[in-house]
Amino acid sequence: MATQPVFKRTYVRTKPYPEKKVRIVNELKELFSKYSTVFVIDIHGTPNRVIQEYRFWLRRRDARVIKAKNTLVLIALKQIFGNVDEKIEKIFTGENLLIFTNENPYELAKWIWENGVRREALPGDIAPFDLVVPAGNTNMSPGPIMSKFGKLKIPIKVQDGKIWVVRDTVVVKRGEKVSEDAAEILKKLNIKPIFETLKIKAAIIKGRYVIPSEELKLDARLYRSMIEDAVRYALNLAVNVAYPTPEVLRISIAKAHIEALNLAVNARYIIPETIRYLISKAVTEANALAMAIAPKAPQLGIQVAQQPQQATAGAKAQGGAAEAKAEEKREEGEEKKEGPSEEEIASGLASLFGG
């Protein structure tokens, strides 16, 4: 028996869209055209008070907050941008709130996460810190509520017809869940310990590009460090290739001056800028030579100021081990060798100063 082919039925709308939906789609199209960024916020389970608080502050930041059905949002996107990316379609599921803005998406996301709205603790909430019932008058009259204080081990007393807490008492420790009794007591005392923020799904840029929530969280210190490193590396490269920019020329000119001065000193080129370095170098070399000659020719009566660092450097410069040994013998009074003649000394000094 031949089987009948199965055809997939496609829904084709024959009736016109309701006027209200058309108006919403047109409004969405206008917003998508006016604003560069739209934040998609998951508001499932978010208290209305938190949403209203954010609405108030977002209006002051020139943002537009709107709630619309996902199907209408996708229709508006398709009418403006044509095909909608699959990533964007997956975002529009569940109950969402839209925030249209022209702000930098990273800055606005940071503001949303840093400005939570305080609310009352609900059973099952995790305490962000130790939740404390303060000592003092609760303004509650004695009654069945006293048993809940007892369950939470809160010391109380009745005074002037009111319940008083004897001392500050921790009812929920940090990281623990809030119980029903603790939530009720905290609510009656008007203690709002929970900071709740909007849950960002993603930011859509110009109707095409998606930045997921986790990628909106930036470590400012890390990026600052990376930028500083990049600037240092770029400046180092530019200086090494002598790239002529105002920032580089200042360093390159100073570097060239130092290198030219060093070359002039080593070449013994006498100019006002090098003379003091040449004299200092000549004095150092003369002292080193004198220290080497003094123990060998004591009859010359050469006197050299005893500067340990200079003496050691001079001894190393003139040959090291032999001169150090000679100096050691001089200090011990063991002067057995005769020194060089006056002609040899004069010849050495002339050689030292380029004669």
pLDDT-based confidence at residue 352 (cuts at 50, 70, 90): very low
Single-letter code of the amino acid located at 270: I
Average pLDDT over residues 291-312: 67
- Cα angle for residues 114, 120, 122 (degrees, 5° grid): 110
Question: 3-state DSSP call for residue 355?
Answer: coil
User: Among residues of the chain, what percentage have pLDDT more than 70?
Assistant: 81
The DSSP code sequence of 84-141 is: --HHHHHHS-SSEEEEEE-S-HHHHHHHHHHSPEEE---TTPBPSS-EEEPSEE----
pLDDT-based confidence at residue 349 (cuts at 50, 70, 90): very low
pLDDT of 136: 92
How does pLDDT run across 244-269, given as a tens digit for each residue? 888 888 888 888 889 898 999 888 88
Average pLDDT over residues 266-295: 87
CB-based contacts of 164, cutoff 8 Å, min separation 6? 135, 136, 137, 138, 156, 157, 158
* Residue 118 Cα to chain centre, angstroms: 27
pLDDT of 14: 64
Q: Pick the more confident residue, 352 or 127.
A: 127
Block residue for tokens 């917003």: 31
CB-based contacts of 28, cutoff 8 Å, min separation 6? 66, 68, 72, 73, 76
Is the CB of residue 187 less than 8 Å from the CB of residue 180? no
pLDDT of 317: 40
User: In angstroms, what is the C-alpha Rg of the chain?
Assistant: 43
Average pLDDT over residues 76-93: 88
Interatomic CA distance for residues 80 and 251, integer angstroms: 53
Interatomic CA distance for residues 168 and 154, integer angstroms: 8
Question: 3-state DSSP call for residue 273?
Answer: coil
Average pLDDT over residues 320-325: 45
How does pLDDT run across 163-221, given as a tens digit for each residue? 999 999 999 999 999 999 999 999 999 999 988 899 999 999 998 899 999 999 887 78
Of 72, 112, 306, the closest CA to residue 202 belongs to 112
